[in-house]
Amino acid sequence: MGKDAEAALRAADPPAGQAASGAAGRSGASPGKAPGTAAAAAGGPAQASGPAAAAAAASRPAGGPWTGVGAGAAAGAANRNAGMASTSTQQQDRPMSILTWNLWFDEEMELVARMKAVGDIIEREGHPDLLLFQEVTHNMLLLFSQTSWFRRYHHSPEPRHQPYFTLLLARRDSVTLTALQPWANKDFENSVMGRGILYTRAVVGGRPLVVGTTHLESPVGKGPQQMTAQRREQLGSAMKELQAAAGPTTDCVLAGDLNWSDPRDGPLPLPPHWVDAWRELRPGQPGCTYDCQANPMLTGRWPGSRLDRLLCRLGGAPGSSGGGSSSRGWKLDSIKMVGTQALPGLTAMNKGTRVLVLPSDHFGLLLKLVPVEAAAAAGAGGRSGGGYVLGSGPAAAGPAAAAAAAVGAAAGGSSAAGAGGAASPPKCAGGAAGSDGAAGAAAAAAGRRQAAVKAPTAAGGSGSAPVRLAAAEVTDLTTEGEDEDVIVL
């Protein structure tokens, strides 16, 4: 990236209303495909309904804008001041934190309690600078908008015509966004699920950064319906998009639910100079973010996989693992899981089984980065101990056994204790490809449901766009299948 481009990244924050204007509001939706989406973000979603919406609306401040910020010029001035503060000398040597998390769009599973737990974790972790969420629903956003933590952040516009979507949030007092349209979206051309890449250009501590989030295609069956080829192509497109936005020297981070299982999909294909943060910082540790054995809220047989990843091109110079010769870039410091603990005293029914309730069916990943020069001053490696996994100790030593005991105590029953440790992803085949005839039948069956989520329906409905399914109608796409080769998220 040239000096002029980097200077543009350092532009002051836009006014508070920026999240409701400019770019179209959909991850995976180009502006032309959702007319009026950005403008609609300021008014609240027509889809938000049910008990979650009612609970949130009851406490909603009168006249409060949907973006969760104070109104008028005072908010705009505060944002500009926050932008200047983020590049002050005091801020330049501070570490940066990024949280990625699939929040699970199942609104029937204690939505209000789960989203409160998400907010509690955000506050406990000191309000990470960047939040990258997947499977966000309109009711989730409605609940978030009533919280104090949410008002600390700018956020990407709400796509009103999607049942669930990705969301990117940037902290007002530490992250400076570009002055014009801060949120960029691009559809994946091969997606039948409305998936794409959502990203922003930001400056943190005087250092430019391009950060994006995505939710790659979900597997829906065996063979070709595992969608491995589609995910591989989508991952390459997402990385190319970020690299084009960043240029050759600006740091890049891509994070989200990649739906990637090494036993099924093979090794993650990374371009030169990109690294998988978990593998770099915790080599040899499974790092399963979706695991039916470690997450007692799940009832399937899926043994666990690192479906969620944080991928980085850091250091400002090629040829390094998360830290190059640039003195103005970032270096990997630590990573940990969050959301691994059950909510105290709360159980729910899942497929006829009483289970503990966690914030999501996925665990989140929290990455800490430090300035390259600060890491060099700290000594070789520049890491502060590599972090830790939230819930280490009893939970890490035996999540299944601990979960079974807790369920028994809460429900007055008992269940068989699981293995004594968290399971690593099995070295099993990723599913046979099958015959063309069988694959075609599977594709036809899955296509009837998936084609409906190809593109959002315009307000009022012209009849030319496919009808998108309601969140409740696609909930089964996120449940664990009986076949271990099939995991749909």
The pLDDT tens digits for 266-315 are 999 999 999 999 999 999 999 999 999 899 998 877 778 999 999 999 97
At residue 447, the pLDDT reads 39
Q: Give domain status of residue 425, yes or no.
A: no
**For the chain, which ranges sit under pLDDT 50?**
1-47, 58-80, 82-83, 85-87, 317-325, 381-488
Q: What total number of domains does the chain contain? A: 1
Residue with tokens 């990637």: 260
Query: What is the pairing mode between strands 251-257 and 207-215?
Result: parallel
Rg, the chain, Cα only: 22
Torsion from C-alpha of 302, 304, 308, 310, nearest 10 degrees:
-170
Q: Give domain status of residue 406, yes or no.
A: no
Q: Cβ contacts of residue 148 below 8 Å, gap of 6+?
A: none
Closest by Cα among 17, 176, 222 to 84: 176
Q: Give domain status of residue 446, yes or no.
A: no
Q: Give domain status of residue 434, yes or no.
A: no
At residue 229, the pLDDT reads 92
Q: Give domain status of residue 257, yes or no.
A: yes
Q: Give the CATH number, domain containing residue 303.
A: 3.60.10.10
Closest by Cα among 310, 294, 252, 481 to 395: 294
At residue 303, the pLDDT reads 76
Closest by Cα among 336, 194, 216 to 268: 216
Beta bridge partners of 137: 164
What DSSP designation does 273 have? T
Q: Domain span at residue 163?
A: 3-399
Q: Give domain status of residue 44, yes or no.
A: yes
Q: Cβ contacts of residue 361 below 8 Å, gap of 6+?
A: 102, 104, 106, 290, 295, 297, 298, 478, 489
Q: Give domain status of residue 254, yes or no.
A: yes
Q: Give domain status of residue 471, yes or no.
A: no
The counts of H helices and E strands in the chain are: 14, 15
At residue 311, the pLDDT reads 98
